[in-house]
Chains A and B, each alone.
Chain A
Amino acid sequence: MAGSAPELEAVIGLEIHVQLSTRTKMFCGCELSFGDEPNVHTCPVCLAHPGVLPVPNEQAIRYALQIGLALDCEIAPRSIFHRKNYFYPDSPKAYQISQYDIPICGPGRLGDVRIHRAHLEEDAAKLVHVGESGRIHGSGASLVDFNRGGTPLVEIVTEPDLRGAAEAAEWARLLRETVRQLGVSDVNMEEGSLRVDANVSVRPAGSEELGTKTELKNMNSFRFLQRGIEAELARQREVIAAGGRISQETLHFDPRTGDLTPLRSKEEAHDYRYFPEPDLVPLAPTEEMLREAREALPELPAARAERYESELGLEAEPAALLAREPEVATYFEAVCEAAGAAAGDEARAVSPRMVANWVTGELTATLRQREAEEDFTDPTVPAPSLARVVALVAGKKISHGSGKQVLAALVEQGGDPDEIVEREGLAQMAADDGELEGIVAAAVEANPDAAEKVREGNQKAIGAIVGHVMRETKGRADGGEVNRLIRAKLGL
């Protein structure tokens, strides 16, 4: 053994294609279609007849600006289109109109990952292979459907900042949610409105240089993305461990078999002969366009999570969870607001952190037991009601367990929290109520061994006495209070 191999770290970058949900195509007025009969949304322009010319879709530009702003990108004051030349039946002009060295969006950031650039381009048509391909000379054909050809795309390229497959999939989910909330795309991986390719390489840990990267394509779910990257990382590590070198290639991951197979490249020499598109004039986003794009941005997940953490004191995980679901987040904020507006000491005891725990914890669990999916814009438990439940618990008017009961009742039948407490007799036994003291005294007497152990220093033994009290009070006593009373009774 010559010595152990240096540890290899993963270096991953993502290339994301987002299909924009405009009404018409990028360069012509044909409507975007989904699942229609082939070739019913075409025109001389997107069929690349002789003499036609492209004219850019204004809405696509606006959507691209929104994406760029959401990713904190530098917006280029002037960007141009380029032709990317290659022959393939899904590319009717035999060039794709894209952006090359002067894209509309420059460097930016989303979460922990830096964005390298984002640009506009048009989607290719759809090619369906039929018949036997490969084996018999001349047989095998493809059928082309140009409905999709010309759909506006924004291509987002990250820096290779990701260090693992799970991290990459998680970040991809964040990106998806961010773009979804902009309302500029369906971002559905299965339908193809979101496509994620990964550039994967490894290098000795601590090294600054980049290893040779391979490109993984055609993973159409976040899970497959993760597994594909995992598989490729494993493969690369194996190759290097065996003394081999990684060759730059494009690979297809088959999730069923776990196999990675090299893909045939479209343009053998990869010489796209880029040159500026003479049929289109430059884009120079105006102050007004930028302002409108900025105003169109909702509060996005990353910013919202940040706000929840820093301003509302939430912990990272619930903050991220809520931030990813805007309807739930809005509900959460409504509950906080209702609690803040309510009168009484108990209301003042409510913190956003508590509300977050109730919303993401108990409420979600209770709702999940029902058949139908909850619509938080029309919630089963109105915000003021949940706020009241949380306040009652925070103010020790009812126990946490009782709170759950009230919530269950609210979900089941609705009603008023205080009335439910009254009706079910859930009011917490007051600590200075003689009744509780009496029950505590009786419990201590009924558990002499436990009492002895506690006096001797065994803290855990108090549980038996607490349990006795809880049973007697049907859970209406506050656990902390009971503990205190028992210890007081034991003279500790």
Chain B
Amino acid sequence: MIDRGQVLHVARLARLRLSDEEVDRMTEELSGILSHVDRIGQMDLEGVEPTAHVVALENVLRADEPRPSLPREKALEPAPEPVDGTFRVPSPQAAEA
């Protein structure tokens, strides 16, 4: 179904850190869910159009007119680490040995 290695890979893609115990549990639970979900593979759906959009709309557009932006204080208010009008985050570079 889904194995530990795949679980770890998916967790990395999703930026989730799982403890060993969580990995084990997740592997079991996801396998169970996937075995149920796999039923959809049994249906012959050759030639069926996938539903990408539920409402049959097209060309819903917005005029190129400016709307007021947030005052900067308001934009930064919820920020965990506002610095000089910007959002500060740890550097993307991983630590090098």
Contacts and interface: CB of A to CB of B under 8 A. Distances in A.
Given A24-B67, A269-B13, A278 B53 contact: yes
A282 B87 CA distance: 34
Contact of B67 (A30, A39, A58, A131): A30
A138 B95 contact: yes
Interface stretch (A141-149, A311-319, A480-488): A141-149
A226 interface: no
B58 A284 contact: yes
Contacts of A37: 72, 85
B66 A142 contact: no
B21 interface: no
A31 B66 contact: yes
B59 A134 contact: no
Given A37-B72, A141-B89, A59 B66 contact: no
A281 B60 contact: yes
Chain A, interface size category, equals 35 or more
A31 B69 contact: yes
A78 B59 CA distance: 10
A281 B90 contact: no
Given A134-B96, A143-B88, A278-B53, A30 B59 contact: no
A78 B58 contact: yes
A28 interface: yes
Interface residues of B, number: 36
A47 B87 CA distance: 11
Contact of A23 (B66, B72, B89, B93): B66
A276 B52 contact: yes
Nearest to A129: B91
B15 interface: yes
A39 B91 contact: no
Interface in A17-73: 22-24, 28-31, 37-44, 47, 55-61
Name which of B53, B60, B92 has the most chain A CB atoms within 10 A of its CB: B92
Contact of B75 (A24, A42, A280): A42
Nearest to A268: B12
B75 A29 contact: no
A133 interface: yes
A135 interface: yes
Contacts of A43: 67, 69-70
B61 A58 contact: yes
A343 interface: no
Nearest to A283: B59
Contacts of A285: 59
Given A43-B70, A55-B60, A281-B55, A24 B89 contact: no
Given A55-B60, A269-B13, A281 B72 contact: no
B71 to A, nearest CB: 8
Given A55-B61, A142-B90, A142-B91, A39 B76 contact: yes
B96 A135 contact: yes
Given A137-B95, A138-B95, 4 more contacts: A28-B67, A39-B86, A140-B90, A269-B12
Interface of B: 9, 12-13, 15, 52-53, 55, 57-67, 69-70, 72, 75-76, 83-93, 95-96
17 contacts: A23-B64, A23-B66, A24-B65, A24-B67, A30-B66, A39-B76, A42-B70, A43-B70, A57-B61, A134-B91, A134-B95, A135-B96, A140-B90, A269-B12, A278-B53, A281-B55, A281-B59
